[in-house]
C-alpha cells in the first residue's frame, strides 16, 4: 500500500466482521475491512481519503461480478454428466453449481479489474435473506401437499434413526482424522446434510467463520454423492422388482 512511505502510517490491526487480527506483508485487504492505523495527526485525513472511510461504499457489492458468478453457477448446475456402466445421468443443480462457482471465484479473488469478493455486511445480509427465502419456499411447497401426503410411521422412524447415527459417525471421524474444532465440525454436519437451515442454526450458535469453512468443504461432495447414490439405489430397486 505504501502507507508508511507516503503518509508515515502503520496498519496495526484489521477488523474483518467480528474478528480482529494483526496483518503482515502478505495480508490481502478485503472489501469492508476496517483498518486501525497509527500515523501523525496531520496525515490522518489523507490516509482516510486514500484508504476509504465510507460505510455506504463499503457495504455495496459489485452487481456485475455478482451476476456473472450466479450465471456461471447456474450454467454449471445444468451440465448433464453421463455415469459409467449405464447407471444413469445426473446434474448437480443450480444451488450446488453456484456454490462450486463461488468456491472457485473466491479462491481467485480477482480477475483483472473484476473483484469476486463480497463486503462482509452485504454477505451477511444476502445470507440471511437467502435462508429466509429458501425456508419459505420449502415450507410453502411442502405445506401444500401435507394434507394429502400419506403418513408412513416406519419411514419417519427410519429417518429419525439415520440422521443422528450419521451425524455421530461424522463427528467421530472428523475428530479422529482432522481434529478440528467444534465450529468446523458443525459446518461439516451442515454440509453432510446439504441443509442450509442446519447451517444457519450452527452459525447462530457458534458465531464463527469456521462453520462456513466446514460447510463449503463438504457440501459439494455430499451433494454429488447423494445424487449418484439415489440413482444407484433406484436402479438396484428396479432390478429387485424384476
Cell of 114: 473484476
**CB atoms closer than 10 angstroms to residue 186:** 24
Provide the CB-side half-sphere exposure for 93 (13 A, CA). 11
pLDDT for 83: 67
| C-beta separation of 205 from 186 below 8 A | yes
Q: How far apart are CA 136 and CA 140, in angstroms?
A: 6
Residue boundaries of the structural domains of the chain: 3-58, 152-242
Residue 141, pLDDT score: 80
Span 156-185, pLDDT tens digits? 888 888 888 888 888 888 777 767 677 888
| Helices within 28-152 (DSSP H only) | 44-51, 55-59, 63-77, 93-108, 120-146
Ranges of residues in the chain with a pLDDT under 50 are none
For residue 125, how many other CB atoms are within 10 A of its CB? 14
Question: What CATH number does domain 3-58 carry, 3.40.630.10, 3.30.70.1450, 3.90.226.10, 3.20.20.370?
Answer: 3.30.70.1450
Other C-beta atoms within 10 Å of 106: how many?
Answer: 13
What's residue 180's pLDDT?
Answer: 67
* pLDDT value of residue 78: 85
Burial class (CB in 10 A: 0-12, 13-18, 19+), 114: middle
Spatial contact of 95 and 78, defined as CB atoms under 8 Å apart: no
Amino acid at each position: 500500500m505504501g502507507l508508511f512511505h507516503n503518509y508515515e502510517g502503520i496498519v496495526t490491526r484489521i477488523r474483518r466482521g467480528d474478528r480482529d487480527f494483526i496483518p503482515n506483508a502478505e495480508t490481502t485487504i478485503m472489501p469492508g475491512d476496517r483498518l486501525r492505523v497509527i500515523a501523525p495527526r496531520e496525515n490522518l485525513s489523507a490516509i482516510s481519503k486514500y484508504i476509504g472511510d465510507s460505510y455506504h461504499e463499503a457495504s455495496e457489492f459489485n452487481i456485475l461480478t455478482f451476476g456473472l458468478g450466479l450465471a456461471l453457477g447456474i450454467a454449471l448446475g445444468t451440465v448433464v454428466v453421463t455415469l459409467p456402466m449405464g447407471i444413469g445421468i445426473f446434474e448437480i443443480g443450480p444451488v450446488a453449481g453456484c456454490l462450486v462457482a463461488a468456491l472457485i471465484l473466491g479462491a481467485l479473488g480477482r480477475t483483472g479489474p473484476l473483484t469476486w469478493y463480497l463486503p462482509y455486511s452485504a454477505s451477511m445480509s444476502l445470507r440471511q435473506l437467502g435462508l429466509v427465502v429458501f425456508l419459505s419456499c420449502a415450507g410453502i411447497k411442502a405445506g401444500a401437499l401435507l394434507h394429502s401426503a400419506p403418513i408412513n410411521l416406519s419411514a419417519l422412524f427410519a429417518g429419525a434413526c439415520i440422521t443422528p447415527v450419521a451425524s455421530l459417525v461424522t463427528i467421530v471421524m472428523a475428530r479422529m482424522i482432522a481434529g478440528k474444532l467444534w465450529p468446523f465440525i458443525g459446518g461439516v454436519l451442515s454440509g453432510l446434510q446439504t441443509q442450509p437451515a442446519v447451517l444457519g442454526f450452527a452459525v447462530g450458535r457458534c458465531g464463527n467463520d469456521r462453520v462456513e469453512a466446514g460447510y463449503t468443504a463438504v457440501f459439494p461432495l455430499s451433494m454429488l454423492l447423494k445424487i449418484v447414490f439415489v440413482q444407484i439405489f433406484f436402479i438396484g430397486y428396479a432390478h429387485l422388482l424384476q
